[in-house]
Structure 1
Amino acid sequence: MKKVLLIDGMALLFRSFFATSVYNRFMYTSNGIPTNAIQGFVKHMITSMETFEPTHVVCCWDMGSKTFRTEMFDDYKANRPAPPQELIPQFDLVKEVVEAFDIPNIGLAGFEADDCLGTLAELYREEAEVIILTGDQDVLQLIKPNIKVALLMKGYGNYEVLDENGFYEKKGLTPQQLIDLKAIMGDSSDNYPGVKGVGEKTATKLLMEYQTVDGILENLSALTKSQRQKFEDSLELLHLSRELATIKCDVPVSCELNDATITIDRNKVANKFDELEFKNLHGFIDKVC
């Protein structure tokens, strides 16, 4: 059976950047271009290909900070600092490196990488097993038959791979209920509020009992007075938060499965590595060639 590895490029790039920048290791080329994030990204990408042995690979990216979510809610991700100066030139360069592997780069202005991952996963799961590689827990909502999520753990080659059963064992909820969980408890990293005063524990308990946000709202009279008040005070924000939390699986991106077949030209990759002065990464090419 075909096996597609969908890579959350932003998650890998940011993780790789901060893993070394904390020690001020930016690994400049002789032209003064920092490459620390790209080098870490390449190690993560190749290690995951070695681990999961996919037949096809696609890499998804954010295309700027303005999306339909920021249009819906001005404060969405507004608490995020601007990317560090040393990371900025690496956004375009990393895509060139992915291209050198003949792996498609997919992204669409107005949407996040997550939306591209969700759309392609939905597209491919009819004919392939799909593994989404990310460090972002939000992506767990995409788990369903033929779609697993591999969460990056510390170091290289360490993953927590979750399917529907694994997610249920971990959370006591279905992956789909994660959207409603986030709608209720909000998300401080994405900067949307949810229901003020209701945390993960209470939200999980309510969803176990009433299944969905709609189920909870239909049973407000059964909630404690304090809980009922909190939901009534936050109704508008609750519905908004649910929309913000939902990964769209129908955005207008496509990538034919055939275009994502792994066909790595060793010389092409080696030339790109030489251009960026990746002295220590040539051995990695052998792992996937």
Structure 2
Amino acid sequence: MSNENKPSFMLVDGMALLFRAYFATAVTGQFMINSKGIPTNGVYGFVKHFLTAVSSFKPTHVAVCWDMGSKTFRTEMYDGYKANRPDAPVELIPQFDLVKEVVEAFDVPNIGLAGYEADDCIGTIAKSAKEEANVKILTGDKDILQLIEDEISVALLQKGYGNYLVHTKETFFEANGILPRQMIDLKAFMGDTSDNYPGVKGIGEKTALKLLQQYEHIEGVLDNLHQLTKGQRTKIEQDLEMLHLSRQLAEIKCDVPIEYNLNDAILNFNHEKVMDKFAEVEFRGLQRFLDLKELA
């Protein structure tokens, strides 16, 4: 099937949209608490991001992936993984279930599996769907860029609504000088402060990029340690174990045991059902986002 005739499948990183929407309004204390006492600011913003992206990219199929709790195979591997993250704000907690209910009202599948992150579900689905669909991943999380291939692109949310930085294999290489897959080894060397693992102490992005451009991957670097500067060699040798562990933490797992069916993700929602849900949650002013693309 030629690329033009393939369905276009948008995989949404639900947490990335929800958190971005929540924090954009929480700073000014606009929690939008409804008559049932439930804050709705994150879900409201999520819907705006979701509908704006549907209108911008016009996917034929959509699914939303979620984290299912903070305990995953990565926390088993490394105690410190994401240990620096504060607990979710109290106003956000009831919105985790509410946002999934709203997604259900659009007849869009919510996908997640305990023990894995949303990224792992996204990676697994993207890799298995790429034969039959052009996949676009909507996220704010640069880690997902490692999944880019010919049939998989990534739309990174920028400031505001409807602003995206879309990366394909070509644009990624132009911007970074490495291939998307090499991002895993890049993070293994430089670590990730937001996920709280150190990589190799003293090796930053600039050095890591240079090493990967020259030697392709971690194995290539280790085979050529004798050619590195004494400082680089010492740092890598001292942190060899953490280098390998960091690579395991950085790599998105693309063989998660989840069931999904592309046909379940066909985007064809019932306008009335969605409006009923909006009324129940007490959302106002979203009608125009629904009208952006007549999907009824």
1:104 & 1:151 partners in 2: Cα distance? 21
Give the partner amino acid of 1:150: A
TM superposition score normalised by structure 2: 0.97
1:199 & 1:47 partners in 2: Cα distance? 36
Q: Is the 8 A contact 1:142 1:176 kept in 2?
A: yes
Are 1:237 and 2:242 counterparts? Answer: yes
Query: In the alignment, what sits opposite 1:142?
Result: 147
Shift of the alpha carbon at 1:281? 1.1
Query: In the alignment, what sits opposite 1:132?
Result: 137
| SS of residue matched to 1:47 | helix
Shift of the alpha carbon at 1:280? 1.2
| SS of residue matched to 1:208 | helix
Give the number of aligned pairs.
289
Q: Is the 8 A contact 1:6 1:132 kept in 2?
A: yes
2:289 & 2:57 partners in 1: Cα distance? 16
**How is 1:48-127 mapped onto 2 (pairs within 5 angstroms)?**
48-127=53-132
Are 1:7 and 2:30 counterparts? Answer: no
**How is 1:143-158 mapped onto 2 (pairs within 5 angstroms)?**
143-158=148-163
1:168 & 1:34 partners in 2: Cα distance? 42
Are 1:22 and 2:62 counterparts? Answer: no
**How is 1:245-264 mapped onto 2 (pairs within 5 angstroms)?**
245-264=250-269
Are 1:180 and 2:185 counterparts? Answer: yes
Residue in structure 2 matching 1:200, options 202, 205, 208:
205
1:196 & 1:155 partners in 2: Cα distance? 35
Q: Is the 8 A contact 1:59 1:104 kept in 2?
A: yes
Identity of aligned residues (%): 63
2:11 & 2:276 partners in 1: Cα distance? 25
Give the partner amino acid of 2:44: Q
Shift of the alpha carbon at 1:181? 0.1
Q: Which moved more, 1:263-272 or 1:276-285?
A: 276-285
Q: Is the 8 A contact 1:101 1:265 kept in 2?
A: yes
Query: In the alignment, what sits opposite 2:37?
Result: 32
Could you list the per-position Cα deviations for residues 128-187 of structure 1 after superposition, in whole angstroms to 9, with x for gaps in the alignment? 100000000000000001000000001100000001000000100000000000000000
In structure 2, stretches of 5+ residues that fail to align are 1-5
Instruction: Tell me which stretches of 4 or more aligned residues in structure 1 moved more than 3 Å.
Output: none
Q: Is the 8 A contact 1:120 1:254 kept in 2?
A: no
Shift of the alpha carbon at 1:285? 1.8
Are 1:219 and 2:227 counterparts? Answer: no
Give the partner amino acid of 2:197: Y
Query: In the alignment, what sits opposite 2:285?
Result: 280
The alignment yields a C-alpha RMSD, in angstroms, of 0.6
2:254 & 2:123 partners in 1: Cα distance? 5
Shift of the alpha carbon at 1:31? 1.5
Give the partner amino acid of 2:130: R
| SS of residue matched to 1:14 | helix
1:285 & 1:276 partners in 2: Cα distance? 16
TM superposition score normalised by structure 1: 0.99
Could you list the per-position Cα deviations for residues 95-154 of structure 1 after superposition, in whole angstroms to 9, with x for gaps in the alignment? 000000000000000000000000000011001100000000000000001000000001
Q: Is the 8 A contact 1:273 1:282 kept in 2?
A: no
1:150 & 1:72 partners in 2: Cα distance? 30
Q: Which moved more, 1:26-35 or 1:60-69?
A: 26-35
Give the partner amino acid of 1:274: A
In structure 1, stretches of 5+ residues that fail to align are none
2:286 & 2:40 partners in 1: Cα distance? 12
Shift of the alpha carbon at 1:221? 0.5
Query: In the alignment, what sits opposite 1:209?
Result: 214
Give the partner amino acid of 2:7: K
